Copies of this chain bind each other. A is one copy, B any other.
């Protein structure tokens, strides 16, 4: 593909904050043309009416999912920023509708009406939780429903580039990690891979800005309820737990069970995780730090801070960066790892674009090199 050729991109679910941040990143991506935006309640509107900060960009009006003509729109990449559960239905449907080659390997009988069509190769990048959990029983347990696209799920690649870069390059369907898992896994996977920390008593105390709760109308998201206030939520039962445990268990080579408690903080963006771990015998915080430095040496978006600098969300605001550091705990044999990301960028839309770059053979950092915005 030439430097200037542009791929045709669609965003399903463009009227939420994740959709807005995808558009923010993609309108300056040199290889992308946005040709499809969907929304349900706000179908028919230009995006600039729903997000006035995007007035003036040359973007298609939003249409309802049911009004998409898959054959006509000829997408190269679909970002799916739909709610959980909806996502699996829609992705399954679009694979069928486009006679996707991915299905050939999965389904014995290709639908008759697709028999003659040319097999498409649209790449799907899902930002929902629908394809993150490898085990469908775990999915059923935590999401309270049977998975409706099990075969498709099996083909999904977990979209954490720092861990699964090669698999992502070849994937047709990438399941982008949740925001909380992204920070937790970037902090812990290298340590488990290196065998430096114990699987028991992993305690993740997470803090997030409010954009993570989406644009839905809930009393708890009103300015007056959130401003000058903070509180934990989902204590002991947040759905990001099994996702974190799945990936940590793979990295550790044995079952890991974590304690994870998220908190709502009065800020728009930003996510900070303070992680308490037990080290292996004779390990030190410096050993852990060394392992992270080494693991992320060549990574464009992960920085291990020098000295005792504490990661802060203001260091990554608006950017695809993750900053990490490791500290001695006062309790002997333990260490504290702190990770900060922007929940909407590395925790969501930015990582999705990073995955797109990998899947399409672009330089991985294309369109993602904005400096963080501070102030």
B-facing mask of A208-235, CB < 8 A → 1, else 0?
A: 0111000101110111111111111101
* A105 part of interface (Cβ distance < 8 Å): no
Q: In the assembly, what is the distance between CA of A229 and CA of B331, in Å? A: 28
Per a CB cutoff under 8 Å, which of B235, B268, B274, B369 touches A336? B235
Q: In the assembly, what is the distance between CA of A372 and CA of B52, in Å? A: 10
**For residue A28, which residues in chain B have a CB less than 8 angstroms away from its CB?**
369-371
Q: In the assembly, what is the distance between CA of A136 and CA of B268, in Å? A: 44
Q: Please tell me if the beta carbons of A265 and B265 are within 8 angstroms of each other in the complex.
A: yes
Q: Which residues of chain A (51-86) have a CB below 8 Å from chain B?
A: 51-57
| Nearest-Cβ distance from residue A55 to partner chain B, whole angstroms | 6
Q: Please tell me if the beta carbons of A317 and B233 are within 8 angstroms of each other in the complex.
A: no
* A260 part of interface (Cβ distance < 8 Å): yes
Q: In the assembly, what is the distance between CA of A187 and CA of B202, in Å? A: 22
Q: Please tell me if the beta carbons of A266 and B263 are within 8 angstroms of each other in the complex.
A: no
Name the residue of chain B whose CB is nearest to the CB of A276: B203
* A303 part of interface (Cβ distance < 8 Å): yes
**For residue A205, which residues in chain B have a CB less than 8 angstroms away from its CB?**
205, 274
Per a CB cutoff under 8 Å, which of B55, B222, B258 touches A331? B258
Q: In the assembly, what is the distance between CA of A122 and CA of B57, in Å? A: 35
Per a CB cutoff under 8 Å, which of B25, B203, B268 touches A227? B268
* A359 part of interface (Cβ distance < 8 Å): no
**Which of A112-120, A177-185, A307-315, A350-358 touches B?**
A307-315
B-facing mask of A288-324, CB < 8 A → 1, else 0?
A: 0000000000000001010011111111111101010
Q: Please tell me if the beta carbons of A57 and B371 are within 8 angstroms of each other in the complex.
A: yes
Q: Please tell me if the beta carbons of B309 and A52 are within 8 angstroms of each other in the complex.
A: yes
Per a CB cutoff under 8 Å, which of B203, B215, B241 touches A222? B215
**For residue A25, which residues in chain B have a CB less than 8 angstroms away from its CB?**
371
Name the residue of chain B whose CB is nearest to the CB of A233: B310
Per a CB cutoff under 8 Å, which of B23, B226, B311, B314 touches A228? B314
* A373 part of interface (Cβ distance < 8 Å): yes
B-facing mask of A226-268, CB < 8 A → 1, else 0?
A: 1111111101110001000000000000000111110101111
Q: Please tell me if the beta carbons of B23 and A371 are within 8 angstroms of each other in the complex.
A: yes
Q: Please tell me if the beta carbons of B55 and A310 are within 8 angstroms of each other in the complex.
A: no
Q: Please tell me if the beta carbons of A269 and B228 are within 8 angstroms of each other in the complex.
A: yes
* A329 part of interface (Cβ distance < 8 Å): yes
Q: In the assembly, what is the distance between CA of A329 and CA of B52, in Å? A: 24
- Assuming the contacts A223-B223, A274-B205, asked whether A267 and B228 have C-beta atoms less than 8 A apart, the reply is yes
* A272 part of interface (Cβ distance < 8 Å): yes
- Assuming the contacts A53-B316, A330-B236, asked whether A211 and B274 have C-beta atoms less than 8 A apart, the reply is no
Q: In the assembly, what is the distance between CA of A205 and CA of B372, in Å? A: 27
| Nearest-Cβ distance from residue A265 to partner chain B, whole angstroms | 6
* A328 part of interface (Cβ distance < 8 Å): yes
Name the residue of chain B whose CB is nearest to the CB of A54: B371
Contact sample, A vs B, 18 pairs, CB 8 Å cutoff: A52-B314, A52-B315, A53-B315, A55-B303, A55-B305, A205-B274, A210-B223, A223-B268, A224-B375, A225-B314, A230-B265, A231-B314, A231-B340, A236-B336, A257-B331, A261-B336, A266-B266, A269-B375
The 3 A-B residue pairs whose C-beta atoms are closest, nearest first, are A231-B312, A229-B314, A53-B372
* Known pairs A52-B323, A228-B267 / 11 extra A-B pairs, C-beta < 8 Å: A17-B375, A21-B375, A28-B369, A53-B315, A53-B316, A53-B371, A203-B331, A205-B274, A235-B310, A236-B327, A236-B330
